[in-house]
Structure 1
Amino acid sequence: MTKKYDKEFKMQTVRLIQEEGKSVAQVAREMGLHENTIYRWMAEFKQDGSQAFPGSGQLKPEDKAVRDLQKRIRDLEEENDILKKGHALLRQRPALIYSFIYDHRFECRIAKLCETLEVSRSGYYKWTKRKESKREKRRKKLERRIRRIFLDSRRLYGSPKIHKVLQKQGTKVSEKTVARIMKELGLVSRTVKKYKATTNSKHNFTVFDNELNQQFQVLAPNKTWVTDITYVPTDEGWLYLASVMDLYSRKIVGFHMDERMTKDLVLKALERAYMQQGKPQGILHHSDRGSQYASHDYKARLKEYSMKGSMSRKGNCYDNACIESFHSVIKKELIYLEKFKTREQARKRIFEYITCFYNGKRIHSSIGYHTPNQYERLYRFAS
């Protein structure tokens, strides 16, 4: 026999939990109710407040009319929701409609789904028991691969990069198919588009000519380096990041972080790049006109390392586009996605991002969808 409880009973039960601090399990045990029943009451009360439980208790004829109208409204809203989600499938094969019903079986009633999408319940249940076709198996395998690549990219890759990774793995599929599957699976890149420049070019230091001249395609590693500074917000204040990129592999060969944007910040980043890359000679070093890079100490270090200086033209953001692009990427993929309480926390996350993810796992379209470390190794193997 189905038990029925009036509105007052349900509301008192919910308030007992909310105001007395009793757990759902305890109340269910004491009242002899199923826990799911109480959870359902709580959800309805949270959604509608004082208007919750309109059909509970003994109803007058006029109340029954209201209840029936409310039920019809809910049915229409449910049907409308189903039609919105399933519109693209209405003209497709029944198997696709059955798949849609299966995917949304916990959101809407199966009977209502079948009725709205004009398929039989018996046909749907028969479909759930059939064996998967080879095509369906291939599709599910592709979905798993796409999801794995997406998660492995830290939920940052869009369909173009996932398509390229699949190609490298030997999976033949179009980019449009990848994009469609990602949309169906709800896989959306979580990058945030924000960026702002930092360095100050208003100073009295002499500057180098623009020797790079936007020649961003380089034939070998350790021939051309570009460098720049960006900022990282934390609850403790700004943290500044100076980075050095090898234009051949797009690898960040050196970087340093500090709470002050001084010449020591950029000197340390350059020193690390020079040492970590094996003290290469004859490098063309390009930067913007910031005072840190134009300082006497920095120029002396370039001379010590046998590097030739180059600087962007005044007001031309494209002359140093590659390293600025990296700083834009790290902001979109890390800095603006997290809130750092301390500078130390930011340092740890940025270090891990650059050394492990950016250099080691993130593919780049400009180098044939390889990672910087891979592209550098390919050159070494070919030499």
Structure 2
Amino acid sequence: MAKRYDKEFKVYAVKLVVEDGRKAAEVARELDLVPQTLQKWVARYKEDQENSFVGSGNRSPKDQAGYEKDKRIRDLEEEVAILKKANGHLRKKAEVIYGFIQEHHHEFRVEKMCQVLGVSKSGYYEWRDRPVSDQSKRKQKLTAQIKRIFIASKKRYGSPKITQVLRNEGVPVSPKTVSRIMKENGLRSKTVKKYKATTNSKHSHPVYPNLLNQDFRADKPGQVWVSDITYIWTREGWLYLATIMDLFSRRIIGWAMSHRMTKELTLTALRRAINQQTPQKGLIHHSDRGSQYAAKEYQALLRKHHITTSMSRKGNCYDNACIESFHSVIKKELIFHEDYQSREEAKRSIFSYIMTFYNSKRIHSTIGYMSPMAYEKMYLRKIVS
């Protein structure tokens, strides 16, 4: 008499292959199964996880009625889920819809997707099994590369930056092509409305002249530092972020975060900058006229390391545009997409962004579409050779 296996057994057997990554032949041998049988189960499971083994084992009439009701509910839920994900594909060519079905066939039933999206199942399988043209292969490869870069940037890069990364990797491509592929695949960079914060310039401390005059060029590291403060909302209340950027490479060399916007906040960021990049003769430190930067203790630390003070003109945000641009970027790419439950959660998130993405990976048009750290290394190689 042939052996019979219920649904639970089949699912557990299949998961040994699909989820644990074991070889089907090895699992079949251990379970005393014909290898071809297990392979069929695996194929059915991949095609339709929810209903792959319907009918396996015995079910009472009452259970059957309940099952049918649940199945109808699942069908409706699945249709809604498909429509939500395929919203941008509904009026596209059949080939585009087939591509969507292929991409999501592990998530939804092929038959159900074809039904909802108005294409034939046979048409999909014919498209899927058709020999891939060289042009399609090139597009598939390019699409995979674009997705890789997009995901690596944590969905922060748009088509211009992805185009530049591809070119840096030796892939000749136009921004128009990248933009089209991103649109076809629903890849949209994180962008949010700009948000501005200012410090308090109404104080009795001395202020200093603007030595930069909006000339944001630097010939080497450690020539000009620019600094500013911004703030971030968390469920615990405001968190303040002070940063110092080296103007040459746009690298953030000093940072500090606190629940209070005090001179100690900016002093901590300055100490970290000094520890990161030993001040050289002629270094200019530029900031706005905020009391935290004009404070006696802050200016004393600058003098101690022979750093010259420069300050923006009153009410002119463009005088400190580079560091304000960084604060705009971190908010658009990270902060405005989060709902921080605590200041500590925000601190860890912001630290990770600055140290593991912005400084080391994020490319900048102003420095030849390189990351700050890569740009500095290139400069050091040049002066050494």
Output the TM-score relative to the length of structure 1. 0.75
Q: Distance in 2 between matches of 1:207 and 1:339?
A: 37
- Give the length in aligned residue pairs: 316
Contact 2:266 2:293 in 1 (8 A): yes
The residue that corresponds to 1:345 in the other structure is 345
Does the 8 A contact of 1:243 with 1:252 survive in 2? Answer: yes
Q: 2:218 is matched with which residue?
A: 218
Cα distance, 1:35 vs structure 2: 8.5
Q: Which residue of 2 aligns with 1:55?
A: none
Whether contact under 8 Å (1:287, 1:311) holds in the other structure is: yes
Q: Give SS of 2:64's match.
A: coil
Alignment-derived partner of residue 311 in structure 2: 311
Q: Is residue 222–residue 279 contact of structure 2 (8 Å, CA) maintained in 1?
A: no
Q: 2:245 matched to which residue of 1? A: 245
Alignment of 1:293-308 (within 5 A): 293-308=293-308
Q: What amino acid is the match of 1:190?
A: K
Q: Which amino acid aligns with 1:107?
A: M
Equivalent in the alignment of 1:109: 115
Equivalence for 2:325: 325
**Matched residues, percent identical?**
52
Give the structure 2 partner of residue 289 of structure 1.
289
Query: Does 1:167 find its partner at 2:130?
Result: no
Aligned residue type for 1:363:
I
- Candidates 29, 33, 36, aligned match of 2:64: 33
Once the two structures are overlaid, the 10-residue window that deviates more, 211-220 or 330-339, is 330-339
Matching residue's letter, 2:214: Q
Change (3 A) 1:180 1:347: same
Cα distance in structure 2, aligned partners of 1:314 and 1:201: 8
How far is the alpha carbon of 1:346 from its aligned partner? Answer: 1.4
Cα deviations by residue, 1:29-81 (Å, 9 ceiling, x for unpaired): 5535399744442257889xxxxxxxxxxxxxxxxxxxxxxxxxxxxxx9xxx
Mapped partners of 2:231, 2:195: distance in 1: 10
Inter-partner Cα distance in structure 1 for 2:285 and 2:160: 32
State the match for 1:42 in structure 2. Answer: 73
Partner of 1:265: 265
C-alpha distance in 2, partners of 1:205/1:254? 23
The whole-number CA distance in structure 2 between the counterparts of 1:135 and 1:183 is 19
Report the AA paired with residue 198 of structure 2: T
Contact between 2:159 and 2:182, CA under 8 Å: does it hold in 1?
yes
Shift of 1:326: 0.5
Q: Distance in 2 between matches of 1:107 and 1:32?
A: 27
The answer for the alignment partner of 1:280 in structure 2 is 280
Counterpart contact for 1:263–1:293, Cα < 8 Å: yes
1:101·1:110 contact (CA, 8 Å) conserved in 2? no
**How many Å apart are 1:257 and its aligned residue?**
1.0
Q: CA deviation at 1:216?
A: 0.8
CA distance 1:127–1:330, change in 2 (3 Å) = closer
Shift of 1:134: 1.6
Query: In the TM superposition, what is the alpha-carbon distance from 1:305 to its structure 2 partner?
Result: 1.1
Q: 1:267-320 CA deviation, whole Å, 9 max, x = no partner? A: 111111011113433211100010111111111111111111111111111000
Q: What is aligned with 1:138?
A: 138
Q: CA deviation at 1:129?
A: 2.1
The higher radius of gyration belongs to 1
Letter in 1 for 2:157: Y
Greater CA drift, 98-107 or 275-284: 98-107
Q: Tell me the amino acid that sits aligned with residue 196 of structure 2.
A: K
Distance 1:280 1:36, change over 3 A: farther
CA distance in 2, matches of 1:213, 1:282: 17
Flag the 1:183–1:266 CA change in 2: closer, same or farther, 3 A: same
- Alpha-carbon separation, structure 1, partners of 2:151 and 2:100: 24
Structure 2: gaps spanning 5 or more residues: 1-54, 105-109
User: What's the CA shift for 1:99?
Assistant: 4.9
User: 2:374 and 2:320 mapped to 1: Cα distance?
Assistant: 24
Which letter does structure 2 place at the counterpart of 1:381? Answer: R
- Return the letter of the residue paired with 1:338: E
Structure 1 residue 209 corresponds to structure 2 residue 240: no
- Judged with a 3 Å threshold, the aligned counterparts in structure 2 of structure 1 residues 274 and 84 are, in CA distance, closer, same or farther, namely closer
Amino acid at match of 2:261: M
Give me the whole-angstrom Cα distance separating, in 1, the residues matched to 2:350 and 2:117: 51
- Over 3 Å counting, the alpha-carbon distance change for 1:38 and 1:360 in structure 2 is farther
Please, which runs of 5 or more residues in structure 1 have no aligned partner?
1-24, 48-77, 115-120
Contact kept? 2:90, 2:117, Cα under 8 Å: no
Amino acid at match of 1:300: A
Task: Read off the aligned partner of 1:33 and give its amino acid letter.
Answer: Q
In 2, Cα distance between equivalents of 1:344 and 1:208: 35
Q: Distance in 1 between matches of 2:274 and 2:88?
A: 58
Change (3 A) 1:99 1:339: closer
Tell me the distance in 1 between the aligned counterparts of 2:303 and 2:195: 32
Instruction: Note if contact 2:225-2:286 (Cα within 8 Å) is conserved in structure 1.
Output: yes
Cα pair 1:249 1:373 within 8 Å, conserved: yes
CA contact (8 A) 1:191 1:337 kept: no
Task: Give the secondary-structure state (helix, strand or coil) at the position aligned to 2:257.
Answer: strand
| 1:146-193 alpha-carbon deviations (Å, 9 max, x no partner) | 111100000111111111111111111111111110111111112322
CA 1:240–1:169: 2 relative to 1, 3 Å: same
Shift, 1:222, TM fit: 0.6
Please name the residue that 1:366 is paired with.
Answer: 366
Name the counterpart of 2:151.
151
